[in-house]
Structure 1
Amino acid sequence: MTNEEVFEVFLEYMRAGNLAKRTISTRLSILTQLSRHQDVPLVEVKAFHLRREIGRDDLKPASKATMRNVFMAFYTFLCEEGVITENPARRLPIVKVPPHRPRPYTQEQIDKLLSSGAYRRTRSMILLAAYQGLRAAEVAAVHSDDIDLHAGTIKIFGKGGRTDYLPLHPVIRELAASMGPGYWFPARGGRDGHIRGNSVSDLLTDARNRAGITDHRLTGHSLRHTFGTELVRGGANIRAVQELMRHSSLSTTQRYTEVLDDDRRQALDVLPGREIPATSGRVSHQQQADQ
């Protein structure tokens, strides 16, 4: 079977499983790159092709893990369908991914983001991420119909195709009252719909740079980390935080309960101070012993 023929049956399988369009697109993209990089049709791929693809130096651990999951799903499907007789992905090693630590903005940094020349549109994006925990793609798709001011809720079309109705934070309620009908961030250039999630990420990065924040580990997604971190730090119930952040696993939410850098510095402050001795004191100690 050609790559196109394999894609057609795998696409039907994924749609039948009600996978999100973004998940389907990501899987097909990874498989297309595999065939192109390794210069081999997908049905002829061997385990060493997969290991070589995952082992590329330009990939981060999380990307390697995602890639491995896609290969496992795809080649398990081909085996079960009888397209191939041996699953090459079964011989892939487990990808070790370092523990993920949240990278939140401080409240002072968020003040800088909002007051350093960002346009109203960008300021609205910052607030949605920091006060509702929205991801970039979710921010991009906010529509006036998603906001129910009477019920005090916001409808979010989230990761994995799930839809959630969550309470509005008072800051976002106030923001919503000032927004017009339709998409909050409509596409430009005569296109229908809303802007892309990548455009939101780019605008948030521009706001960070304009604010003079030099820590490049802080991204647009870090505003979502701020949301989760502040909830936990404020004493919110961890299950409630899970629901608000829409994590499928509580273990993901529990990452936000880890001790933060500021908390660790404050913990060190409880230790008593001490003068550093200029000498070892060995001579005087010996003299006292000889007396």
Structure 2
Amino acid sequence: MTHDSLSDLWLATMKSRGLATRTIDDRRRILTNFARTLGIKPETAGEDDVIEWLSRDIAQSSREHYWSTLRVWFAWLQDRGLIDVSPIAAIRRPRVPPALPKPAAKEHIRRVLNSSIRRTTRTKIIMAVYAGMRVSEIAAFRGEYLDQIGEKIRILGKGGRDDVLPVHRAILEEASLYPAGYWFPSPGQPDAHVSGNSVSTVISRAFRRIGVRVTAHQLRHHFATSLLEHGIDSRIVQTLMRHSSLATTGRYLKVLERQQRHALDALHLM
């Protein structure tokens, strides 16, 4: 079996498991870069090749991401009996310091929603602010994912997750503005939706027009920290954020130093 057909089979296997197209494309890109940089076939790589590639001058977060992709690739080769030992088995996962969330400020969100922005841009911002949706989830959203009677929303998310959750009335109110099918179809292609990158760019530009720098992901951060600031239990926030681990949700607790300071100031012994 040739290298191309082998890697294509790996990608097809991921597709059959229901992994998101974005994840599959990302892994394709990383594996191709790995092979081209070293001038080898990825299935023939040894431990030294992996160490050389991961030792390049790259961001630590990228190093960890690349390590994870190669681990999946070599595990797949091992499962199929194409290699005996994974060359990445003895290489520890690169350490990445957890990045603290940077939520968008409420006043900035209010300003942009009150500015002259397109209806679709406004809707995308509302979906991020009131449901904590990622750009890829917003891009692929369909009208039938909203249950008006049950007041619920279906979100097809990261890693093939499929969640049905209560929905905020602000999102329900947007539904009357859109037909069935994709809310944000690709121009000239009604059967396809816009990309997540497109959603990210549109939102960032809307904020830049009012003189502030805010990313779409910071709106998701705002969603989580706002819930926590209102005293919502972190386990409930975990389900609404669709985090697989409570530890991930716990990162948002670290940004609430103002509340922690207020709590300490309330202590009086004399």
TM-score by length of 2: 0.89
User: Over residues 145-195 of structure 1, what are the superposed CA-to-partner deviations in whole Å (9 max), with x where a residue is unaligned?
Assistant: 111111101111111112111111021122223333332111103453211
Question: In the alignment, what sits opposite 2:19?
Answer: 19
**Contact in 2 for aligned 1:117/1:210 (Cα 8 Å):** no
Number of corresponding residues: 267
One-letter amino acid matched to 2:55: G
Question: In the alignment, what sits opposite 1:226?
Answer: 222
With over 3 angstroms needed to count, the CA separation of the structure-2 counterparts of 1:264 and 1:207, relative to structure 1, is farther
Q: In structure 2, the residue corresponding to 1:90 is in which secondary structure?
A: coil
With over 3 angstroms needed to count, the CA separation of the structure-2 counterparts of 1:264 and 1:61, relative to structure 1, is farther
With over 3 angstroms needed to count, the CA separation of the structure-2 counterparts of 1:83 and 1:258, relative to structure 1, is same
**Contact in 2 for aligned 1:116/1:210 (Cα 8 Å):** no
Q: In structure 2, the residue corresponding to 1:11 is in which secondary structure?
A: helix
Question: In the alignment, what sits opposite 1:281?
Answer: none
Of residues 86-95 and 117-126 in structure 1, the stretch that sits farther from structure 2 once superposed is 86-95
Question: In the alignment, what sits opposite 2:30?
Answer: 30
Please state how far the C-alpha of 1:105 moved relative to its aligned partner.
Answer: 0.6
Q: In structure 2, the residue corresponding to 1:89 is in which secondary structure?
A: coil
Listed as ranges, the matches of 1:1-291 within 5 Å are 1-15=1-15, 17-57=17-57, 59-190=58-189, 192-214=191-213, 218-260=214-256, 262-263=258-259
Please state how far the C-alpha of 1:79 moved relative to its aligned partner.
Answer: 3.0
**Contact in 2 for aligned 1:46/1:88 (Cα 8 Å):** yes
With over 3 angstroms needed to count, the CA separation of the structure-2 counterparts of 1:123 and 1:12, relative to structure 1, is closer
**Contact in 2 for aligned 1:128/1:172 (Cα 8 Å):** yes
Please state how far the C-alpha of 1:126 moved relative to its aligned partner.
Answer: 0.5
Identity percentage over the alignment? 38
User: Over residues 71-95 of structure 1, what are the superposed CA-to-partner deviations in whole Å (9 max), with x where a residue is unaligned?
Assistant: 1121133234332344221232331
Choose 1 or 2 for highest CA Rg.
Answer: 1
Where does structure 2 lack aligned partners over 5 or more consecutive residues?
Answer: none
**Contact in 2 for aligned 1:140/1:200 (Cα 8 Å):** yes
**Contact in 2 for aligned 1:156/1:164 (Cα 8 Å):** yes
**Contact in 2 for aligned 1:75/1:87 (Cα 8 Å):** yes
One-letter amino acid matched to 2:108: Q
Please state how far the C-alpha of 1:34 moved relative to its aligned partner.
Answer: 0.4
Please state how far the C-alpha of 1:124 moved relative to its aligned partner.
Answer: 0.7
**Contact in 2 for aligned 1:114/1:123 (Cα 8 Å):** yes
Question: In the alignment, what sits opposite 1:279?
Answer: none
Aligned CA RMSD, in angstroms, stands at 2.4
**Contact in 1 for aligned 2:100/2:255 (Cα 8 Å):** no
Q: In structure 1, the residue corresponding to 2:188 is in which secondary structure?
A: coil
TM-score by length of 1: 0.83
